[in-house]
């Protein structure tokens, strides 16, 4: 990730270049001697691709900018409306009004914050463009420059106070903004969520870019005219060469300045293609969703009887709720036996009701916990494997949010198996290794999930979501990812689950090895091929190395290098690191699943005690 290239910088660059290009076009249209309808048609044709996205709000902003520029030029020239009127003029005006009405009808419903944003952006860009033109053609430069800078700063201040487009992109919030009227005025100024400083730079940069462009055009025109005059109207070879150079320089400057807005426009016009998927019939997803709904009547859902914690509940309480959930377990078994794909509506803004799956996972984890309390550890392992399978199967073919729920469901099973591994029969240990290995081998690649999520955002969130996604790609940031998750965002969460499962597989294999040899292996290579077909790779290791294993005098330390990708010898995360997703230290199951105050120091190398006897 390029830390210096922030989303605010990329968005500011897009705004400056876009407003400057449209402003120069509007200045040409306002000063050209051609028919007014032809000039208007050319401007609308240039803006027309926005309607194909469709992005009606930016179209309105740019149209308003052009209107402000046209009025400003007319006032500067002291022009007056012609009193001549013809039927053709009336018909052309009717056509123009009809086009405006059609666009107004298609414009999405906006609240007061949305409308104020459109008006302020259009007015601010138009006035900033006029300031740049004034700097170029005004005679009293000593007055024009300071006054123009003041005007631009005032515009930046107003936009920093009342604009909501910039914060909606930079902070990944919705559009149009759904905010309280008072919050739109008072908390905006001075809040860290609003890029005030950025808006103070944008209007002056628009004015400066407009001034430089007009200055270049005027210089080229003066040089060409001087050569025409020197040759008495004849076209000499040096004059032709100079005209070509001057025109090429102007065209190259315009193309260079318009390159970024045109690139963004082309991307908005060509969203990523839809994935080619077909839902299975019958779809196990429907059975899993039905099983989740059956759990809604129990305390596992959190809706009936308040917040029910299956980890701390008594055996009697768990038995009662598990009995109520028996119908859901039957439907769950059916769903897991069938092919499962999440049905995605790419053009819908509402997500599927996936919260039911979390309640179902809590219910199965509660069933496993009850088996533990009753001393049925093999049955508990079966239930934990089932809830982990649910975490892998239910989100298949879905979006990132489905995958995140799947990761949460998997987390209900991995600690339980790790905690009960010493009480499992050796046959069950082997069965758990096989089941976990299948889940890991069939795990859906994160890139597939990410692509579907990108496509869904591009279509369900319209131009605003697609633009925010595109700009974050350019800035090399993850789309909508909280900074708590680290620089790699959601991918880190999925990699952490993969690391946990692979560490758990290795822990179970070590359990079998210790039973057979009454010792721990000197290296993980001793587990291959009898206990493991291969040493699992560390998903966090940038070079693809296997998970780490350190043999001590009486035990061992098994770990992944963790989210930071650095091998720290099994060191524990820092105490003040983000719980559940540490960015320091290494990932060790004995510290992650069974926290120990004695192992909280980064220098601690304590490992689990694995010398107990195991069940036959």
In angstroms, the CA 241 to CA 50 distance is 38
Name the average pLDDT for the chain.
Answer: 83
Written as six digits, the tokens of 474 are 């350019």
- List the single range of 97-101, 418-422, 552-556 with lowest mean pLDDT: 97-101
Token pair listed for 4: 């210096």
Cα separation, 18 vs 50, whole angstroms? 12
Mean pLDDT of the 40-56 span: 92
Residue range 106-130: mean pLDDT, rounded: 88
b (16+ CB within 10 A) / e for 511-550: bbbbeeeeebbeebebbeeebbeebbbbbbbeeeebbbbe
Cα(347)–Cα(431) distance, integer angstroms:
43
pLDDT at 72 over 60: yes
Give the pLDDT confidence score for residue 526 in this predicted structure: 95
Instruction: Specify the pLDDT at position 225.
Output: 58
> Which one is predicted more confidently, 179 or 366?
366
Q: Which long-range contacts (CB under 8 A, 24 or more apart) does 41-45 make?
A: 44/99
557: β partners: 550
Q: Rounded to two decimals, what is the model's pTM?
A: 0.82
Q: How confident is the model at residue 425 (pLDDT cuts 50, 70, 90)?
A: very high
pLDDT digits (tens, 9 = 90+) for 286-314: 999 999 999 988 888 875 445 678 888 89
Query: Rounded to whole angstroms, how far apart are CA atoms 405 and 488?
Result: 18
What pLDDT is recorded for position 188? 43
Each residue of 326-373: pLDDT tens digit?
999 999 999 999 999 999 888 776 665 677 888 899 999 999 999 999
Q: Tens of pLDDT along 238-267? A: 666 666 676 677 677 778 889 999 999 999
User: Which tokens belong to 113?
Assistant: 């914050």
Q: Looking up tokens 């870019």, which residue turns up?
A: 209
Residue 245: partners with Cβ closer than 8 Å, 6 or more residues away:
none
Per-residue pLDDT of 583-613, as tens digits, reads 788 999 988 886 443 333 333 334 444 334 3
Residue listed under structure tokens 């919030």: 173
Banded model confidence at residue 85, pLDDT cuts 50, 70, 90: low
Which pLDDT belongs to residue 104? Answer: 74
Token pair recorded at residue 503: 């560490």
pLDDT at residue 184 tops 60 = no
Give the model's pLDDT for residue 88: 65
Predicted local confidence at residue 223, as pLDDT: 56
> Using one digit for the tens of pLDDT, what is the confidence trace for 151-161?
999 999 999 88
Instruction: Give me the phi and psi of 53, to 5 degrees please.
Output: -65, -50
pLDDT of residue 97: 78
Q: Is 474 helix (H, G, I), strand (E, B) or coil?
A: helix
Q: Please name the residues in contact with 42: beta carbons below 8 A apart, sequence gap of 6 or more.
A: 25, 29
**Which helix (DSSP H) or strand (DSSP E) does residue 556 occupy?**
strand 556-559
How is residue 216 annotated by DSSP?
A: H
- The answer on pLDDT for 183 being more than 50 is no
Joined tokens for residue 604: 């601690």
- If DSSP codes are grouped into helix, strand and coil, which group holds residue 333? helix
- Residue 371 C-beta-side C-alpha neighbours within 13 Å: 20
Residue 553: the pLDDT is 81
Parse the chain into domains and list their residue ranges.
Answer: 7-269
Give the Cα separation of 539 and 448 in Å (integer). 17
**pLDDT band with cut points at 50, 70 and 90 for residue 181:** very low
Q: What is the pLDDT of residues 480-509, one digit of tens each?
A: 444 434 345 788 899 999 999 999 999 999
* Section 388-407 average pLDDT: 93
C-alpha–C-alpha distance, residues 274 and 456, integer Å: 9
Percentage of the chain exceeding pLDDT 90:
53
Query: What are 347's strand-pairing partners?
Result: none
CB atoms within 10 A of CB 75: 10
> What pLDDT band is residue 191 in, cutting at 50, 70 and 90?
very low
- Predicted confidence at residue 467, as pLDDT, reads 93
User: Shortest CA distance to 153 belongs to which of 126, 118, 124?
Assistant: 124
């Amino acid at each position: 990730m390029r830390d210096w290239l922030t989303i605010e910088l990329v968005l500011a660059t897009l705004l400056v270049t876009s407003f400057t290009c449209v402003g120069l076009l509007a200045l040409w249209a306002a000063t050209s001697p051609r028919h007014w309808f032809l000039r208007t048609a050319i401007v609308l044709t240039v803006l027309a691709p926005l309607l194909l996205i469709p992005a009606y709000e930016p179209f309105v902003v740019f149209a308003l900018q052009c209107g402000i520029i046209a009025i400003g030029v007319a006032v500067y020239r002291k022009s007056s409306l012609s009193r001549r009127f013809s039927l053709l003029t009336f018909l052309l005006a009717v056509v123009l009004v009809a086009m405006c009405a059609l666009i107004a009808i298609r414009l999405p419903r906006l609240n007061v914050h949305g409308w104020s944003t459109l008006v302020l952006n259009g007015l601010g860009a138009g006035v900033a463009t006029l300031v740049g033109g004034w700097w170029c053609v005004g005679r009293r430069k000593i007055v024009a420059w300071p006054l123009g800078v003041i005007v631009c700063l005032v515009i930046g201040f107003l936009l920093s106070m009342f604009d909501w487009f910039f914060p909606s992109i930079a902070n990944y919030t919705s559009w149009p903004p759904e905010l309280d009227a008072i919050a739109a005025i008072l908390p905006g100024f001075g809040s860290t969520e609003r890029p005030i400083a950025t808006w103070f730079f944008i209007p002056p940069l628009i004015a400066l870019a407009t001034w430089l462009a007009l200055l270049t055009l005027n210089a080229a025109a003066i040089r060409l005219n001087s050569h025409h005059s020197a040759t008495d109207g004849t076209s000499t070879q040096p004059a032709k060469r100079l005209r070509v150079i001057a025109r090429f320089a102007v065209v190259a400057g315009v193309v260079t300045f318009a390159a970024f807005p045109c690139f963004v426009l082309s991307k908005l016009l060509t969203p990523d293609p839809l994935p080619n998927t077909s839902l299975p019939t019958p779809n196990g997803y429907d059975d899993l969703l039905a099983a989740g709904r059956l759990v809604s009547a129990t305390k596992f859902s959190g809706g009936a009887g308040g917040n029910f914690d299956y980890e701390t509940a008594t055996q009697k309480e768990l038995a009662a709720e598990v009995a109520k959930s028996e119908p859901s377990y039957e439907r769950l078994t059916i769903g897991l036996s069938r092919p499962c794909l999440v049905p995605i509506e790419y053009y819908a803004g509402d997500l599927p009701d996936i919260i039911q799956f979390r309640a179902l996972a809590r219910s199965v984890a509660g069933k496993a916990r009850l088996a533990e309390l009753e001393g049925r550890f093999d049955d508990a392992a079966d239930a934990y494997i089932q809830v982990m399978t649910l975490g892998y199967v239910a989100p298949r073919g879905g979006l990132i949010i489905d995958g995140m729920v799947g990761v949460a469901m998997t987390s209900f099973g991995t600690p339980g198996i790790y905690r009960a591994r010493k009480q499992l029969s050796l046959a069950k240990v082997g069965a758990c290794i096989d089941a976990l290995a299948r889940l890991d081998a069939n795990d859906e690649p994160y890139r597939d999930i990410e692509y579907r999520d990108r496509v869904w955002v591009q279509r369900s969130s319209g131009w605003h979501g697609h633009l925010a996604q595109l700009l974050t790609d350019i800035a090399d940031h993850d789309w909508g990812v909280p900074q708590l998750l680290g620089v790699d965002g959601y991918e880190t969460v999925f990699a952490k689950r993969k690391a946990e499962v692979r560490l758990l597989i290795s822990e179970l294999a070590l359990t079998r090895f210790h039973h057979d040899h009454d010792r721990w292996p000197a290296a993980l290579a001793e587990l291959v091929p009898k206990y493991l077909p291969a040493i699992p790779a560390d998903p966090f290791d940038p070079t693809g190395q296997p998970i780490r294993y350190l043999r001590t005098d009486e035990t061992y330390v098994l770990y992944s290098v963790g989210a930071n990708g650095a091998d720290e010898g099994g060191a524990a995360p820092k105490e003040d690191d983000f719980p559940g997703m540490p960015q320091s230290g290494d990932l060790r199951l004995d510290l992650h699943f069974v926290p120990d105050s004695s192992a909280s120091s980064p220098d601690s190398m304590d490992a689990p005690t694995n010398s107990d006897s195991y069940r036959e």
